[in-house]
Chain A
Amino acid sequence: MSTAESAGGIAFALVQAGKRYGRLQALEQVTLAFAAGTTTALIGSSGSGKSTVLRLLLGLEWPDHGHVEIDGQPLQRADVLPLRRRAGYVIQDGGLFPHLTALGNLALLPRHLGWDRERIRQRAEQLAALTHLPASVLERYPAELSGGQRQRVALMRALMADPDALLLDEPLGALDPVVRHELQDELKQIFGQLGKTVIVVTHDLAEAAWFAERLVLLRQGAVLQDGTFRDLRERPVDAFVSRFVAAQRRLPEDP
């Protein structure tokens, strides 16, 4: 486990996986593989099924059809807790527990795994340095943190037990542009350093292209195009892809 960083993460795959919520078909039968150690961005408008993919991969939801594979093995219900401990998960608002301090949030899983206080503190400080978070902030409650600090703490929480994979669902979606830009840089750096399997969900094409070589564009629960940013821009499979690419606003040219 401790050599996981160099071992290159977890290989995830959806095999013919379909998911419906009531009358809404969130995901058609999708087959999609994420090789160990790679970074992939899932893009698409809201409701396209991006988040559902992550939730299926972590066993937070179960497909109505098809199945999920982890390192080539079908995911069983009994495997879910160990899998989740090997995979960090960050959501849009961080999902920090308001009744615990930042450090309390970080310590939740390690304490359950039997880490002592000192080990938890050391790991927290190490991650604070990685995410450029002042260590003093760790004593604060989520309500006392800025949006950017909250996302950093959420990322640290996901990284505490040194997982083999990171799944991020719009991790920067709720941040203002300056903080967002700053964190985009940091995240990219972190992804590069860790060598884990990273899957990041975003609706922002530029952000997706910044993080990942491979972009997967979803629409209405189906994979529309799977390729590089360049593929999407130069060889769009249909008009929707062109429109999606074109819709990313550029700054106005100087007169």
Chain B
Amino acid sequence: MHRLRSAPILLTACLLLGTCLPPAPAQAAPVRIGSKQFTESVILGELALAGAREAGVDAVHRRELGGTRILWRALLDGEIDAYPEYTGTLTQELLKGLPANADVASLRARLRPLGIGITDSLGFSDTYAIGMRDDVAARLGIRDISDLLRHPGLRFGFSNEFMDRGDGWPGLRQRYGLPQANVSGLDHALSYRAVASGAVDAIDLYSTDAEIPYYHLRTLRDDRHYFPRYDAVYLYRLALEQSAPGFIGVLRKLAGSIDEDAMRAMNARVKLRGVKENVVAAGFLGIHAQDHEGGLWKHLLQRSVEHLRLVAISLGLAILLAIPLGILAARRRRLGQWLIGLTGILQTVPSLAMFVFMIPLLGIGTWPAIAALFLYSLLPIVRNTHAGLVGIAPELRESAAALGLPPGVRLRLVELPLAMRSILAGIKTAAVINVGTATLAALIGAGGYGQPILTGIRLDDVGLILQGAIPAAVLALLVQGLFELVERRLTPRGLRLEARQ
């Protein structure tokens, strides 16, 4: 019984999703490179992009798409064609049943059935490491982690995560039999300053951290191979071997060409000196940076177009569906409660989660973002359409019926105009929420004002954050103003007179 009653709702939900299915992507599309949401991954993405362009391969870079899972899924689903990854991540997280230090050849054999290729190591490993001030280490003659055994009095400051993880400090101490007793937990952001000032003698770090050269630190050699290898590689779709063999050549040429010092230096230029990733990548390749970035205004224009497109399409589709749903809800009490409940549940899904839910369904990019925004815009419109219609005075409803007008005509000429205010208010609410929420669309590669906000958060660059936040706020105000104008135009004069009384 219950199952039967929910059938139309499921159907509606399917329809909602169906409306938004993206059209099949064009075939002659450029190679799509993805990157994760941290600086090193973006630089590696830019390197592949610059290399591809240098080799005359048409390519785009969808930067900062999200975390490992998102990129991996996007690659499997063919939403992107390539992205930088680490061997340790493949063995620990993405592929099951491989030894932690499996080599690239065995990874390649495992990835091939998935339709995915892997380059050789790019030449560096981004893994946990132990670092000391270079001058102190030189004075004490420490090069390897084993050398620490000879200096039991050294003070260690480790990040809280490293202190707790089984493959962190506890395992390290056991493997090397380290005697040091003076070990304190530190915030990772503070640990560089702590070691630089001499408050502690050794800290944990990631081997390609930009701060290593900046603070003149030395990373100690893991001579007993305790830390798993996180060799950087590119993953790519094997289909590229047919469609873009030149691009695979570019990736193969990058393999083995970046050592830890080079990667650290590039990270440092972006993170510490504020140089753009594409400039850093071009500098590494010894080519002139192609200015695909453009000036501030060009940027702003491009993001505005992206953002407005997201808002306009999702809101337009939401209006087309939500008003009929609101009418239906007002006509059928029971179904109405279900419909409003359902759209209400959609609204309670945290917006971040809503975007992430779209990835397995629709992949990444503009259309999934539009689908998420569309679902988000339904509730205010459905609810206000319903409320506007239900709120019509019964005597007016009855007068319309008593005139002998058929229900459809009554709806069009009497009921909808009387509910117009409420409906427009709902659309306005949906639009303003939509403009704000659309900033999250950048998380799944849809661009818009969220892009500089994301990059700004990653680079800790307030100016960049404001480049996204201010236009988004201005747009929200403009949308609000626009809808107030529309409201004034579309509200029948008689209703405004009535309201004034």
Measured CB to CB, the residues of A under 8 A from B are 55, 58, 60, 81-85, 89, 91-93, 95-101, 108-109, 112, 141-144, 157
Structural contact, A108 and B402, CB atoms closer than 8 A? no
Tell me the number of A-to-B contacts counted with CB atoms below 8 Å. 76
Check B28 for interface membership: any CB of A closer than 8 A: no
> With A58-B402, A85-B404, A108-B405 in contact, is A99–B395 under 8 Å at CB?
no
Which residues on A sit within 8 Å (CB–CB) of B494? 97-101, 141-143
A-B CB contact pairs (8 Å), 17 listed:
A58-B402, A82-B404, A85-B404, A95-B395, A96-B399, A97-B400, A98-B494, A98-B497, A99-B492, A99-B494, A100-B494, A101-B494, A108-B413, A109-B404, A109-B405, A141-B497, A143-B494
Which residues on B sit within 8 Å (CB–CB) of A142? 494, 498
> Within the assembled complex, what's the spacing in Å between the Cα atoms of A97 and B419?
12
Which residues on B sit within 8 Å (CB–CB) of A84? 401-404
Check B501 for interface membership: any CB of A closer than 8 A: yes
> With A89-B399, A95-B399, A97-B396 in contact, is A81–B498 under 8 Å at CB?
no
> Within the assembled complex, what's the spacing in Å between the Cα atoms of A96 and B405?
15
Name 6 extra pairs, CB < 8 A, besides A89-B403, A91-B398: A97-B494, A98-B396, A98-B497, A108-B414, A109-B403, A143-B498
Which residues on A sit within 8 Å (CB–CB) of B492? 98-100
> With A99-B492, A143-B494, A143-B501 in contact, is A93–B395 under 8 Å at CB?
yes
* Beta-carbon nearest neighbor of B403 in chain A: A109
Structural contact, A108 and B395, CB atoms closer than 8 A? no
Q: Please pick, from A95, A98, A108, the residue contacting B418 in the complex, using a CB distance under 8 A.
A: A98
Which residues on B sit within 8 Å (CB–CB) of A157? 403
> Within the assembled complex, what's the spacing in Å between the Cα atoms of A143 and B498?
5
Structural contact, B414 and A81, CB atoms closer than 8 A? no
Measured CB to CB, the closest approach of chain A to B367, in angstroms, equals 39
Check B334 for interface membership: any CB of A closer than 8 A: no
Nearest 10 pairs of A and B residues by beta carbon: A95-B399, A84-B404, A99-B492, A85-B404, A141-B494, A143-B497, A89-B402, A143-B498, A99-B417, A98-B498
> With A99-B494, A108-B413, A141-B497 in contact, is A91–B399 under 8 Å at CB?
yes
Measured CB to CB, the closest approach of chain A to B229, in angstroms, equals 73
Q: How many chain B residues touch the partner (CB < 8 A)?
A: 25
Which residues on B sit within 8 Å (CB–CB) of A97? 396, 399-400, 414, 417-418, 494
Structural contact, A81 and B406, CB atoms closer than 8 A? yes
List residues 415-433 of chain B with CB under 8 A from any CB of chain A.
417-418, 420
> With A93-B395, A99-B494, A101-B494 in contact, is A60–B402 under 8 Å at CB?
yes
> Within the assembled complex, what's the spacing in Å between the Cα atoms of A98 and B399?
12
Which residues on A sit within 8 Å (CB–CB) of B109? none
**B401, B404, B494 pick with most chain A CB within 10 angstroms:** B404
Check B493 for interface membership: any CB of A closer than 8 A: yes
Which residues on B sit within 8 Å (CB–CB) of A100? 492, 494
* Beta-carbon nearest neighbor of B407 in chain A: A81
> Within the assembled complex, what's the spacing in Å between the Cα atoms of A109 and B417?
16
> Within the assembled complex, what's the spacing in Å between the Cα atoms of A24 and B148?
92
> Within the assembled complex, what's the spacing in Å between the Cα atoms of A96 and B495?
12
> Within the assembled complex, what's the spacing in Å between the Cα atoms of A143 and B406?
26
> Within the assembled complex, what's the spacing in Å between the Cα atoms of A142 and B406?
23
Which residues on A sit within 8 Å (CB–CB) of B404? 81-85, 109
* Beta-carbon nearest neighbor of A167 in chain B: B402
Please encode chain B, from 460 to 501, with 1 for each CB lying within 8 Å of some chain A CB and 0 for all others.
Answer: 000000000000000000000000000000001111011011
Check B409 for interface membership: any CB of A closer than 8 A: yes
Structural contact, B398 and A99, CB atoms closer than 8 A? no
> Within the assembled complex, what's the spacing in Å between the Cα atoms of A157 and B405?
13
> Within the assembled complex, what's the spacing in Å between the Cα atoms of A83 and B405?
11
> Within the assembled complex, what's the spacing in Å between the Cα atoms of A83 and B403?
10
